[in-house]
Structure 1
Amino acid sequence: MDHLLPTLIEGATAARDKESARLQQLVQALRQSEATLARLREFRVECLARSAAGSLGRADAVSLQTYQGFMARLDQALLLQGHDLERKRQAVTLQQQRLAASQQKLLAFQTLVRRRAAVHALKESRRAQRECDEFAARALARATGP
């Protein structure tokens, strides 16, 4: 198993890096979607302000109907953009969970490596102590002699 751990850590690191890059892409798409929604909202406010201050009071029925159709399409675009934004938020949340799971897996492998190294160091320390004790016992036996 010890010989597989470096390979497992390398794979887990690559997977974590891939999940992190995907999260960055999703966050960027989310920010773009937020900006688009903000621009649409601003445009709607501007259109309403222009209509109130402008020609709608003097408009004929066809112009009024065209304007209302335009505002309905703009409201539909706002609604669709809001749905898109929510889907992207959910995708970011899901990707954050995937990244956390990937990071946790990597940390588990790294912890296993540290534990195995600690066990190996302890065994080596005990072996060295045993050799020292045996050497001291032989030296004492030689010194006290037959």
Structure 2
Amino acid sequence: MSKEKISRISISMPESLLEGLDQMVNERGFESRSQAIGDMINNQINEHRAKQGSEVMTGTVNLVYNHSTPGLTKRLHDLQYQYLDEVISNLNVNLTNTSTLSVILIQGPADKLNMIADQMITLRGVVYGRLLLNSYIIPPIHPFPG
């Protein structure tokens, strides 16, 4: 596998910002400023793509919910079946007698994933919800016949 071509750029920034960058590089363990800046740029590109609409992305919907809320567990499962083409998998972990952590792996157009996540996050009984998207996609999964 060949390495991707590297381009050099030059940037200017205030001293205080450079000091903060160097501190972050050391604390997080980046090998260089370039690696840290590349990571930050990649994060910004992913966030930008996630807002663009039709770009196919992969991500997770992370939920913490009160599973004793009447009908909530069924509604979450119904939504996952309703969007079977986008919902790839899920993992549920019981945290307490009433709290469950759910991590739902999804893939599809960014605007549709945002809509699916919003439908889940806004359900009564969900105490925390967050959608995390990235521009990498998983290998194609054979779709169900028409």
Structure in which a larger fraction of residues adopt helix = 1
| Rg (Cα) greater in structure | 1
TM range (shorter): under 0.3
Which structure exhibits the higher relative contact order, with contacts defined as CA atoms closer than 8 Å and separated by 6 or more residues?
A: 1
Structure in which a larger fraction of residues adopt strand = 2
